[in-house]
Chains A and B, each alone.
Chain A
Amino acid sequence: MYKILKKEVLNQAVILMDVEAPYVSARCEAGQFVIVRVDEDGERIPLTIADFDRDKNSVTIIFQVVGYSTKLMERLEEGDSFCDFVGPLGQPAPFEADKWNRVIGIAGGVGAAPLYPQLKKLSEEGVSVDVIIGGRSAEFVILAEKFEKFCDNVYIMTDDGSLGGKGFVTNKLQELIESGEKYNHAIAIGPLIMMKNVVAVTKQFDLHTAVSLNPIMIDGTGMCGGCRVTVGGETKFACVDGPDFDGFLVDFDECMRRQSFFKEEEHECMMRL
């Protein structure tokens, strides 16, 4: 069993948990993910690792309550346990820290969680990092104070202007680049539509951009092939080839379609709660 060491409600929809998982904490790197199950009949839920503490054998996950299974996760408290917690899965984020001197991270909503360990790692390796964090409103902007600890600049954007600038993360990104800020690399993590739009901006400036995908999958080890994604015209499995890919090459429209495959069933399942 995998004990919940800490639970923190970040906002009405987003929850942070530190979970005891010695196998995962011993070997995980930024960019990798875990799969968790709440109970014996539960779904296998993939979640990108938000942080880890090798000494405490703990792994941090941050999730948004969006459906049946995340609703069940929300009901777990400190001291409770997950039935299953397996990882680390996927490839560590492909860094070229020696070639980069300045990187910008762009996060949308709960996407700030998987972005955090990536930027932290880059900063530790001597790369200057900036971040743009976006959310629907002030409440949905998470981890800003944690990013402030190592980012040179933390830019916040909200749809309604209740915190930071009003507008999308892409508005800020475009503005920064046009005003002459220079970056060697960008990392965008958030909803598919946000990553697609970020790439539309960075392409104009030939700013190489990595994105992190979290498609529908079951096992997370290459067995089901449900997470296939077209990258540069080739089919890849997000679980074993990713989850990070070259954003310039990802077919986002296909990703968005595939994400919607079980919409009806998910809705039906929610109705049972």
Chain B
Amino acid sequence: MANMSPNKVPMPQQEPDVRNKNFDEVATGYTAEMAMEEASRCINCKNKPCMTGCPVNVPIPGFIEQVAAGNFEKAYEIITSENALPAICGRVCPQENQCEGKCVRGIKGEPVSIGRLERFVADYHMQNGTKPSYDIKPNGRRVAVVGSGPAGITCAGELARKGYEVTIFEALHKAGGVLSYGIPEFRLPKSLVAKELENVTDLGVKIETNVVVGRSITVDDLFEKGYDAVFLGTGAGLPNFLRIPGENLLGVYSANEFLTRVNLMKGYKKGEAPTPVKIGKRVAVVGAGNVAMDAARTAKRLGAEDVYIVYRRGEEEVPARKEEVEHAKEEGVIFKLLNNPVKIHGDDGWVKGIEVVEQKLGEPDASGRRRPEPIEGSNKIIDVETVVIAIGQSPNPLIRQTTEGLETEKWGGIIVNEDTNESTRKNVYAGGDVVTGAATVILAMGAGKKAAKAIDESFA
């Protein structure tokens, strides 16, 4: 008999006033008892709507059934039959729009906490499980994967299991893409990213860091070197700016720069890492997506007293994961919604404030969200010393500039066949943010998986 409690078993987490001063993980994870209790809330319904919400088709009720029975390793096997990065997805997927958004338990009460259960199972396996031994028969084909973020590592892992010899080329000195440089330690511990990457290298995938495809080597060179196919999973790495006056003042960062300094370059270890990160007492973060929440909460942890989210649309339009918004608010981040920044003011070259105009919401625009319209004469200046621009990223142009026959959208996204993720260039596949524009980890993984399948079928 299912546990009919309308609420999820609460997630143990650090108190807001404690955690906003450290970089340790916010949510500490379910215990085995909590996981079993939560798992028993799943009624194992016939239609399994949760699975239709999962971009990689994890057999959700199947793994939850095993959790409820205490068979955690079996649950892990079931999840990883479809999802190679469960510890990451359990933490960063926007479950409310995916699996949990479809859960029938969510109609009257809270849905089953599929994300927390996935995380529990992955963490349990990392601590207690044994490494599987693989018996992979090489098929003699070689695939180059460009970028070691979620799309690239998923594609590489899938192909390696099928016997392909896979090399991942990574531009930075460290693998993981956005998982390493973007998402902060307190939301996704880097030791965990390292372990998930290890699972991929254990399959025989080679990772070559410090290779910028498009500069150090081109896609054509890769084919010349004998690769049979190339997968481009280079993400959306180019930061967008607002194009308002004052953006080059001292104290204005792109979210990419700010987070990279803190995460990849270890700026969070104050006084240890040589790459500096400097913030004022007051920080405005422009934008309200996950990256903006990460930046705002990071600023708080680095010691900023007042941290603002400045966003031109309203609460309903906030694109970040619900949990991140809640966490940010609990940690003291101040939301200035319906405020559109128009100018950054400076003093002797340094930021001293950000001028905003209040907005009201009009009719829906092309994105389906209500269009913000300025309220004349409502300009005001928020006093801050640091501004972080987190309004999105575009694909990096290096590969499209150096690869003939690779067609892209006007905004830079690589055009692919929706069924195969093959680009307009034969045997060149692409997936993840470089195709969709900045989106989620799980969608990137889904694309990597789809491309791997198509690559394999193309050689069948």
Which A residues are within 8 Å of any B CB, using their own CB? 23-24, 27, 37, 41-44, 68-69, 83-89, 218-219, 221-226, 228-230, 235, 240, 254, 257-258, 260-262, 264-266, 269
Q: Is B256 an interface residue (CB 8 A)?
A: yes
**A27-B216, A83-B173, A240-B397 known; A269+B254 contact, CB < 8 A:** no
Cβ distance B258 to chain A, nearest Cβ, rounded Å: 9
Number of interface residues of B (CB under 8 A): 39
Asked whether B248 lies within 8 Å of A222 as measured between CB atoms, the reply is: no
Question: Measured between alpha carbons, how far is A266 from B275 in the docked complex, in Å?
Answer: 9
**A221-B396, A224-B257, A228-B248 known; A88+B216 contact, CB < 8 A:** yes
Asked whether A218 lies within 8 Å of B250 as measured between CB atoms, the reply is: no
Asked whether A226 lies within 8 Å of B253 as measured between CB atoms, the reply is: yes
**A68-B274, A235-B241, A235-B248 known; A225+B256 contact, CB < 8 A:** yes
Question: Measured between alpha carbons, how far is A12 from B398 in the docked complex, in Å?
Answer: 38
Question: Measured between alpha carbons, how far is A162 from B251 in the docked complex, in Å?
Answer: 41
Having A224-B254, A225-B254, A258-B250, one finds 15 other A-B pairs with CB under 8 Å, namely A23-B210, A23-B216, A23-B217, A44-B275, A87-B215, A219-B260, A221-B237, A221-B398, A224-B257, A224-B260, A225-B239, A225-B256, A240-B397, A261-B251, A266-B276
Asked whether B276 lies within 8 Å of A262 as measured between CB atoms, the reply is: yes
Q: Is B69 an interface residue (CB 8 A)?
A: no
Task: Identify which of B241, B257, B272 gathers the most chain A CB atoms within 10 Å of its CB.
Answer: B257
**A23-B217, A218-B260, A240-B398 known; A69+B239 contact, CB < 8 A:** no
> CB-CB < 8 A to B261: which residues of A?
218
Cβ distance A233 to chain B, nearest Cβ, rounded Å: 11
Asked whether A85 lies within 8 Å of B172 as measured between CB atoms, the reply is: no
Question: Measured between alpha carbons, how far is A43 from B173 in the docked complex, in Å?
Answer: 11
**A37-B173, A41-B266, A221-B396 known; A27+B248 contact, CB < 8 A:** no
**A86-B173, A224-B260, A225-B257 known; A265+B276 contact, CB < 8 A:** yes
A-B contact pairs, 13 of them (CB 8 A): A83-B173, A84-B210, A86-B171, A218-B257, A218-B261, A219-B171, A219-B260, A221-B215, A225-B238, A225-B241, A229-B248, A235-B243, A266-B276
Q: Contact partner of A86 among B210, B241, B243, B398, CB < 8 A?
A: B210
Which A-chain residue is minimally distant from B218 (CB atoms)? A27
Q: Is B440 an interface residue (CB 8 A)?
A: no
Asked whether B210 lies within 8 Å of A41 as measured between CB atoms, the reply is: no
Question: Measured between alpha carbons, how far is A223 from B256 in the docked complex, in Å?
Answer: 7
**A84-B173, A226-B257, A269-B276 known; A254+B248 contact, CB < 8 A:** yes
> CB-CB < 8 A to A228: which residues of B?
241, 247-248
A interface, over-half SS: mixed
Asked whether B239 lies within 8 Å of A223 as measured between CB atoms, the reply is: yes
Question: Measured between alpha carbons, how far is A38 from B390 in the docked complex, in Å?
Answer: 31
Question: Measured between alpha carbons, how far is A262 from B243 in the docked complex, in Å?
Answer: 24
Q: Contact partner of B212 among A37, A89, A269, CB < 8 A?
A: A89
Q: Contact partner of B237 among A69, A86, A223, CB < 8 A?
A: A223
Asked whether A27 lies within 8 Å of B215 as measured between CB atoms, the reply is: yes
Asked whether B274 lies within 8 Å of A43 as measured between CB atoms, the reply is: yes
Asked whether B173 lies within 8 Å of A44 as measured between CB atoms, the reply is: yes
Q: Is B265 an interface residue (CB 8 A)?
A: yes
Contact code string B234-271 (vs A, CB < 8 Å = 1, else 0):
00011101010001101101101100110011100000
Which B-chain residue is minimally distant from A223 (CB atoms)? B237
Question: Measured between alpha carbons, how far is A223 from B394 in the docked complex, in Å?
Answer: 10
> CB-CB < 8 A to B264: which residues of A?
218
Question: Measured between alpha carbons, how far is A226 from B239 in the docked complex, in Å?
Answer: 10
Which A-chain residue is minimally distant from B249 (CB atoms)? A257
Question: Measured between alpha carbons, how far is A262 from B209 in the docked complex, in Å?
Answer: 28
Which B-chain residue is minimally distant from A234 (CB atoms)? B243
Question: Measured between alpha carbons, how far is A257 from B215 in the docked complex, in Å?
Answer: 30
Q: Contact partner of A41 among B238, B256, B272, CB < 8 A?
A: B272
> CB-CB < 8 A to B398: which residues of A?
221-222, 240
Asked whether B256 lies within 8 Å of A84 as measured between CB atoms, the reply is: no
Cβ distance B173 to chain A, nearest Cβ, rounded Å: 4
Question: Measured between alpha carbons, how far is A254 from B209 in the docked complex, in Å?
Answer: 34
> CB-CB < 8 A to B171: which residues of A?
86, 219, 221
